[in-house]
Amino acid sequence: MDIKQIDQQIREQINKEKSISIFVSKYALRSFKQVLIHAFIAIVLAILFHLLASNIIKISGNDFVPIMSSLAAASGALLAVSIAFYTFMGRYMTDWRDRVYERFRQEREELKSQIKMSAKHHSEISRRLVNLYYLAATYQLGQVIDKDKVYEADKVFHDWTKDYASQTKRKFDFGDLDTYDSFEKHLFDAHLCSTAVRQSLIDLHIAEISGRPLTTFSPLVTTWVVILIFSLVSAIIGGTGIIYEPFNISILIVPTYLLPFAILALILDFTAFMSTMRIHEIGYEKGVLELMEKSHSTPKT
């Protein structure tokens, strides 16, 4: 299986898992702009309700204070859950990316050594690895990777290797040191090194994409804080009896409106994180299978 197909399958799975929730996500709390829009809508609904139905539906001060206190407690608990979850997710994504990067650095050095060794006896191998090595050598942690350039650079070497493998019948013997400088043995080792570097570059590309949702955490945390403070202050003021009773239901509308959207955003973030973990597993599994298949298809010289 080609690495491009692997990446395509991973992307198809991402799109499939998002297809159900993508419409709902548009209305979740993903940005500060959305937070402001929802807050504005909540205030407008509260004003309209007060003007149209405040004399029909009322909440007494004795009921208002416990309800607002319960909302404050619930939002405080969910705020703590959100912060813990986002802290864990941020740490997980960073650790996963760092592990991939450390593996990538080792594989890049192995590719560099292979190019140097092959250049002594079989320069045509080294010349076809230059494009891929250049991408690896110039990569810096956190840099956006153009996967199409990775495919193109890898294609230079692997297409040439595939043509050679279809023509040659020569083999090398792992137990014979005299064959270790043969063209076939260098081609075999170069194939393993280039495949490993290519896979790591794609993994870093996936890690960079997977880390982008971290930017949506701050708006949701801000929403929990707004609901908490608003509910707590309302409960305290309501306990003093200062608030006129017809205003109670209108005040209650604001946190009641925001709460479902905040819970929805938290659920979507959690499900997206679980999907991301599975995507990493699928990418690794398919990468290993591809490496094994490619290794067996390379001439065992």
Which tens digit of pLDDT belongs to each residue from 220-239? 889 999 999 999 999 888 88
Task: List, for residues 179-236, the tens digit of each pLDDT value.
Answer: 667 777 888 888 889 989 998 898 888 777 777 667 668 888 899 999 999 999 998 8
Q: Are 184 and 171 in contact (CB under 8 A)?
A: yes
Domain count, the chain: 1
Instruction: Note the pLDDT of residue 288.
Output: 41
**Single-letter code of the amino acid located at 69:** S
Residue 52 lies in a domain: no
Contacts of 11 (CB under 8 A, 6+ apart): none
Residue 53 lies in a domain: no
Token duo for residue 220: 């949701």
Task: List, for residues 258-285, the tens digit of each pLDDT value.
Answer: 999 888 888 877 777 776 666 555 544 4
Residue 131 lies in a domain: yes
Residue 183 lies in a domain: yes
Contacts of 6 (CB under 8 A, 6+ apart): 202, 283, 286, 287, 290
Instruction: Note the pLDDT of residue 172.
Output: 62
Residue 266 lies in a domain: yes
Distance between CA atoms of 18 and 15, rounded to whole angstroms? 5
Task: List, for residues 168-180, the tens digit of each pLDDT value.
Answer: 666 666 666 666 6
- 3-class SS of residue 77: helix
pLDDT confidence band for 298 (50 / 70 / 90): very low
Instruction: Note the pLDDT of residue 254.
Output: 92
Instruction: Note the pLDDT of residue 16.
Output: 53
The overall average pLDDT reported for the chain is 78
Which range of residues forms the domain containing residue 148?
A: 3-10+30-46+59-297
Distance between CA atoms of 137 and 209, rounded to whole angstroms? 21
More confident residue, 254 or 242: 254
Residue 129 lies in a domain: yes
Task: List, for residues 13-49, the tens digit of each pLDDT value.
Answer: 555 544 444 545 566 667 788 888 899 999 999 888 8
Residue 161 has pLDDT above 70, yes or no: yes
Residue 87 lies in a domain: yes
Residue 24 lies in a domain: no
Token duo for residue 122: 């079989």
- 3-class SS of residue 215: helix
**φ, ψ for residue 78, nearest 5 deg:** -70, -30
Instruction: Note the pLDDT of residue 77.
Output: 94
Distance between CA atoms of 140 and 274, rounded to whole angstroms? 28
More confident residue, 89 or 278: 89
- Which residue intervals of the chain are DSSP H helices? 3-19, 22-25, 32-53, 61-121, 123-127, 130-137, 147-167, 183-210, 217-239, 247-297
